[in-house]
Every structure is written in C-alpha cells, then in structure tokens.
A and B are shown apart, each in its own frame.
Chain A
Amino acid sequence: MDLLEIFRDSEDLVRFSAGDVIMTEGEEGGLMYVVMEGEVEITLKGKVLATAASGEIVGEMSLINSELRSATVTAKTDCVLALIDDASFKSLLRHVPDFTIHVIDVLADRLQKAFDMIEE
C-alpha cells in the first residue's frame, strides 16, 4: 500500500533533525506518523528493533491499544513525517481495508523482528 501517495498532500507535516527523539517509550501516545522523507530508528531499551524509511509507519501501537508508547523512535536522518491523529487513524481503519491489512502486516513484521532478537 502506497502511504506516500495517500499522505502526499497532508498538511500535518512535522520535521525532525537527525538525532531528534520523536517519541519515547513509556510516554503517553495518541499520535502516529508516516515517514515521508528520511529514516527513523525504533529502539527498545537502547537496542535497535527496526528502522522505518519513507512510506512506513511508526507510533501505531499506542493508537491501537490506547496504551503508553511501546518503543522509542529517533530520527536517523533529517526527516519529514506526516501526522495521523486518533480520529484519522480510526477513519482510515473504517474506510480503507487495505490500510488495516497494511498495519497488521507491519505489526506481524515487527513481531517477527522481536522474536529474532530473542533468538540472538
């Protein structure tokens, strides 16, 4: 699913510089992002779980379960992110089944990476 296309005209764009902390594990969530440009790094207790490049999502966990942030996300390069708030997220889930499938794929993929980390 091409999220870059869907959010191309988004007016809710946020810029971060390399090294900026975008979200912190354990904090309140409420927003997720689509990486439009650049790369971000997802870490847990300082260990890199995954990187997300343009077209990929971060921060979805806290919107799904309305819980605290499950991981820390840092800008790996200068980057531009499109913001998705709770209402937009729910609306996408309701009206765009491919978006839901995409989120489920992302979660399954992150789960696989987490299991791989346990194996190491």
Chain B
Amino acid sequence: MDFDRLFKNWDDRETFDAGATIFRADDPAEAIYAILSGSVQLFIKDKILGSEDAGGIIGEMAIIDSDTHNLTAVALTPVVVAKLDLDQFKQFIKTQPDFSLHAMAALAQRLRTVDGFISEQMN
C-alpha cells in the first residue's frame, strides 16, 4: 500500500540511521509506526523474527492500550516512519478503509509468524 501518498501531510515522522534501534522489547508501546521508507529487522528474544519494508507496520502492540513492545525493531537501512498514537490509528481505520484492511492483514501476518515461532520452539 502506498504510504507515501497516505502520509503525505503527516507531521509526526521520525528518521533512523542504519543500525539504530527504533524500539526495544519491554519499552512502553506508545506509537504505531508506518514505515515510509527503508527496511526494519524485527527480533524476538535476540532471534530474527523477520523484516518489514516501506508499507509495513510495526509497533502494533500500541493497539492494545498502555502495553509494552514485545519485539525489538532495528533499522537495517536509513528508515523514515510515520508515528500514530492509538487515537490517530483508530481514526485512520475509521476514515481510510484501505488502510484498515492493510493494518488487519499486517497484524494477522505477524500473528502467523509469531505462532510459527512458537510451533518451532515446541518442536
């Protein structure tokens, strides 16, 4: 999905250098991040869970109010993100049906990946 267009006038952006930590597991999850450019690697307990590129969503645990991140996100390349707090995220979902479907699919995909991780741990 074209986040460039969707977040064209979004002021709350943050830029990270390659190698920078975007958030760590157990940090308070205060924002949901929409990746506008670059590539982000996600870690779970020091193991690589996967990566997300432009059009990806990270920090999704902020969707559950006042929770902490479960993953650590590190910029693999220079990264620009748009930050949304929970209210902004919900507003987006209500007004941008394409975004809501995209966010839902992203969340479902993450759940599958994490379930896959759990299955591997059990074997």
Q: Does A8 contact B (CB under 8 A)?
A: no
Chain B residues near A114 (CB, 8 Å)? 111, 114-115, 118
Nearest A residue (CB) for B90: A101
Would B100 and A107 count as touching, CB distance under 8 A? no
- Answer whether A71 and B115 are a contact pair too, CB < 8 Å, given A47-B122, A112-B67: yes
What's the minimum C-beta distance from B109 to chain A, rounded to whole angstroms? 6
Q: Is the interface of A mostly helix, strand, loop or mixed?
A: helix
A64 to B50, CA, bound (A): 20
Would A117 and B107 count as touching, CB distance under 8 A? no
* Band of interface residues on A: 20 to 34
23 residue pairs of the A-B complex, CB under 8 angstroms, read A44-B119, A45-B118, A47-B122, A61-B108, A65-B105, A67-B112, A70-B112, A70-B115, A71-B115, A93-B101, A93-B104, A100-B100, A100-B101, A101-B90, A101-B93, A101-B100, A104-B63, A111-B111, A114-B111, A114-B118, A115-B70, A118-B45, A118-B114
B interface, CB within 8 angstroms of A: 44-45, 60-61, 63-64, 67, 70, 90, 93-94, 97, 100-101, 103-105, 107-112, 114-115, 117-119, 121-122
